[in-house]
Structure 1
């Protein structure tokens, strides 16, 4: 059986801030860290260290620049140990606040020790649910720290057994964590009470798309996350119904669920999620969608008419080797008119009610603007990576938006704000053909390459001219070819042509090979997944109260963080 032997936490300067031993005798942090750092970067999450006795496996993650390492001298399940480290980092962030800093851990060792003891008992992972941890571990408060600073008892439970000393007074009016008042549901706190009952569903999809130079998609994946927020009293039992074009079973693949989801219900009725939610915000499910469909591979042909197409809000085309010497490149951006919100949708919150009681939210969780009826494109950013030989970009100009580049940078960044997109939409025949914008610039290579192109040979001839060595007729001297006997004008034009040809070849190596697009669209999902209904099962729910109808809201968001790559 897999077991956790120890947990070490290091700060951004590789100083040890916590050592917690669960079982066995693992190598100390002072011995383990140098062996871990000796491994070349980038370091994987699992590193084998044969120089320890016995040989050790080091599992590691990074969270807010803090390094979490768990050593194991026996064979363990890698995913279990890594998931435990992620759960520990999330729990510390939940109790101590985000971002997770070394100073917060050092000033709250009592809370950290309680968390680590509850989450793992004798090396066996036990309680890792945030709601359940709230029942047995109290988060530090400013009042508790103030009372503790003057020698009075604070509200945080003591690690030691309760005594009659003034520093650990009994609290008869508060339930003990180990009493019968604990919640029967492991992931939900007991005695949850809210003055306003609300249920929110936020579906976020992240795109990962690669387009060929011809515009044909090579791969197109959408990774979805269903974030759920439950602010309901008692123990509600909910049913969330998802749908998609065709069906959920044929659209969604590799689904993952929170432990609260009843898997048997999903297998019987794909798309139906039955669960008792934790209190607060949590990740209900995740999934993956192939936007090209199952028949994408046979559909790839040399003709674009039969090639699969994607309905992307923003697409770019990169043209290279432009100009007389092939030193210029151009990026053309097009934004689909479908994602242009009407003035009423962008001026303020816009929502509509469905038969299931759901409301499309435009101002909650992601900011104002954009609903499923009027999807809205936010700022679009184009990132153009440059080869290592590019020394500078001259005459960089954009028809709209702002560019960011300094000599020596590895890429050109082009940003178009939402206001500029609206102006482009309005100026393009009422937004019927979408928004068009261009970026153009010229590359400059190294100084050595420029000198090689402009270097001239003897007698005024360019080094690119052909020379021959004639031992008999020329007496051993080099003589120019017959081109030197041509008129001077012809020689000059020939030299310029040869220089330009060489420049084109050299500049071709300096041309960008791709561009990535970043954007976010509110009110639209690339996969077409949608929420049909969110119901509260009154028969199975407890403590909600008769006649109480929670407010329900849903929101969609599609994000591309350099996720759309256009090759050229």
Structure 2
């Protein structure tokens, strides 16, 4: 297995702001970057460059318009190098702040040098936990920066960068902490002290759902993330119990955990997370849920009437080919009545007990015991936030005519790739309040007519044909004088109107319908967020502090606890037509 050879960071203008070499002799940043940029965008995370000696593998990520590259001249584990780059970004954001800007890195080279030296030693990844880095990396305070600015000795050594970049960061001499200040837990800082002991759980699920024109789900996945915030003194040992309809083992698939989670406990009792948390906020676990269930495919083929009840907060239906020439389409947005906000949510429970009541979920509208957030969006009364419907349009659509929506605001300009229909939280609440209840819910519509590239030519041709058909033109009538037939020059057929060809009009109308069919949208996506509801049905049963294993918490101290639920769809619900 290979090792980390170097790390290069470039700003948004592709100028090198950091060049740190760990081992071997990788290509310099000014030679590697042009070869990397030769590949067309979008570039993959791993690119093979044979034009160097020896040939080089380049791993890359982009964060806040900063480009991070790591070259490797030997076979390396791709996930190891990419994960290291992400850990570097997390550490820089933790010490320098987010978003990560080039100016922050340039003004804190001493901190960056210490971080890179601690996270990787001789090419081998070592210490990447933020809590552990806090114990060994000496970050200058604002007083140290002030003293250093006036020429007085500060708390941390000042590594004055040279004026010519790129340059290699020197390996600073970092004072090592003694054994008394070193934490026995690698991911937790030593001697943690908090005046208010608090524990928070935030579960966020992102939806990816595709619906057929009939409304039947083709695929429905939810990707969840459990964020945990621990502000507890000492070294607490916690147990988080999760529950779900049908059991956690049958609901969650492909789980991933923070290193603090005891995997043996999870394998023995699925749904039970036993861990010693890092100090502060971190991602405890991630998972994937198939909302259709494992037997949905077999029921789909054997029973055509069977459909999974996803109970989505918002769905869209697209009707195309409307109007005389089939140039109109309509988007129908439906909001589920289950997610109608209620003023009764302000009376949610405000208990600061040591564990959550079994079977109850404290919703996103307010954490347990926090009345400041109890304005709505709890597990008993989930609420829909802003809803956005995006309707992509074919490339042949030049413009839209008579674009109108019953609710909300629409954004479209000639030549855009689609329509954005937005309903803010206030409009959603008004729409839900105006609904009469029942199983249908609140409905809003959007209607428009498409104009293709050849519509203007057809209109010009039609107007010219009408002029020639009903007006005066050369050679239209016969000019003759024949007294024998009793007709004079006044009886000529100049200006007589020919009957219109009805079959020709029908053919042109059928042709126009056929052309407009190609200009119709083929799908619509819905974006929304729901507070107090999870599509998978996962809930937190309890969060317990193991008093026997915990150290330094103090007798009789009961941490304050809370939980939030949030479901997000970023164009994740797609309705095809």
Same fold (TM over 0.5): yes
Match of 1:250 in 2: 250
Residue 508 of structure 2: which of 491, 499, 504 is its match? 499
TM-score normalised by the chain length of structure 2: 0.87
Match of 1:475 in 2: none
- The answer on 1:404 being equivalent to 2:404 is no
- The answer on 1:422 being equivalent to 2:429 is yes
Cα deviation, residue 118, structure 1: 0.2
Q: Distance in 1 between matches of 2:552 and 2:353?
A: 26
Contact 1:361 1:555 in 2 (8 A): yes
Q: Distance in 1 between matches of 2:365 and 2:176?
A: 42
Q: Distance in 2 between matches of 1:122 and 1:75?
A: 17
Identify which range, 222-231 or 390-399, moves more after superposition: 390-399
Q: Distance in 2 between matches of 1:514 and 1:430?
A: 28
Q: Matches of residues 304-323 of structure 1 in structure 2 within 5 Å?
A: 305-323=305-323
Q: Matches of residues 220-369 of structure 1 in structure 2 within 5 Å?
A: 220-301=220-301, 305-345=305-345, 348=346, 350-351=348-349, 353=351, 357-358=355-356, 360=363, 362-363=365-366, 369=376
Contact 1:10 1:67 in 2 (8 A): yes
- The answer on 1:535 being equivalent to 2:544 is yes
Contact 1:208 1:220 in 2 (8 A): yes
Cα deviation, residue 154, structure 1: 2.2
Match of 2:152 in 1: 152
Residue 442 of structure 1: which of 446, 449, 461 is its match? 449
- The answer on 1:553 being equivalent to 2:553 is no
Q: Distance in 2 between matches of 1:450 and 1:158?
A: 69
Q: 1:197 to 1:356 in 2, by over 3 A?
A: closer
Contact 1:322 1:328 in 2 (8 A): yes
Q: Deviations over 1:186-238 (max 9, x none)?
A: 00000000000000000000000111111111110000000000000000000
Q: Deviations over 1:279-319 (max 9, x none)?
A: 00000000000000001111224976313231100011001
Q: 1:273 to 1:498 in 2, by over 3 A?
A: same
Q: Distance in 2 between matches of 1:154 and 1:373?
A: 55
Q: Distance in 2 between matches of 1:21 and 1:434?
A: 61
- The answer on 1:83 being equivalent to 2:88 is no
Q: Distance in 2 between matches of 1:452 and 1:360?
A: 58
- The answer on 1:451 being equivalent to 2:457 is yes
Q: Distance in 2 between matches of 1:397 and 1:155?
A: 64
Residue 385 of structure 1: which of 385, 389, 392 is its match? 392
Q: Distance in 2 between matches of 1:504 and 1:227?
A: 53
Q: 1:152 to 1:350 in 2, by over 3 A?
A: farther
Q: Deviations over 1:223-282 (max 9, x none)?
A: 000000000000000000011101111100000000000001000110000000000000
Other structure's SS at 2:397 match = coil
Q: Distance in 1 between matches of 2:190 and 2:525?
A: 48
Other structure's SS at 2:305 match = coil
Cα deviation, residue 353, structure 1: 4.5
Q: Deviations over 1:364-393 (max 9, x none)?
A: 699753111110100110000111111111
Q: Matches of residues 56-67 of structure 1 in structure 2 within 5 Å?
A: 56-67=56-67
Match of 1:370 in 2: 377
Match of 1:468 in 2: none
Match of 2:210 in 1: 210
Q: Distance in 2 between matches of 1:256 and 1:61?
A: 22
- The answer on 1:124 being equivalent to 2:131 is no
Q: 1:93 to 1:458 in 2, by over 3 A?
A: closer
Contact 1:206 1:222 in 2 (8 A): yes
Gaps of 5+ in 1: 161-174, 463-486
Number of equivalent positions: 526
Q: Distance in 2 between matches of 1:361 and 1:395?
A: 40
Q: Distance in 2 between matches of 1:226 and 1:267?
A: 18
Other structure's SS at 1:455 match = helix
Contact 1:208 1:564 in 2 (8 A): yes
TM-score normalised by the chain length of structure 1: 0.88
Q: 1:381 to 1:351 in 2, by over 3 A?
A: farther
Identify which range, 119-128 or 180-189, moves more after superposition: 180-189
Q: Distance in 2 between matches of 1:343 and 1:176?
A: 56
Q: Distance in 2 between matches of 1:349 and 1:276?
A: 33
Q: Distance in 2 between matches of 1:149 and 1:434?
A: 63
Q: Distance in 2 between matches of 1:349 and 1:18?
A: 54
Q: Deviations over 1:457-486 (max 9, x none)?
A: 999589xxxxxxxxxxxxxxxxxxxxxxxx
Match of 1:524 in 2: 533
Q: Distance in 2 between matches of 1:339 and 1:509?
A: 37
Q: Distance in 2 between matches of 1:351 and 1:14?
A: 53
Cα deviation, residue 433, structure 1: 3.7
Contact 1:349 1:362 in 2 (8 A): no
Cα deviation, residue 181, structure 1: 1.4
Q: CA RMSD in A?
A: 2.3
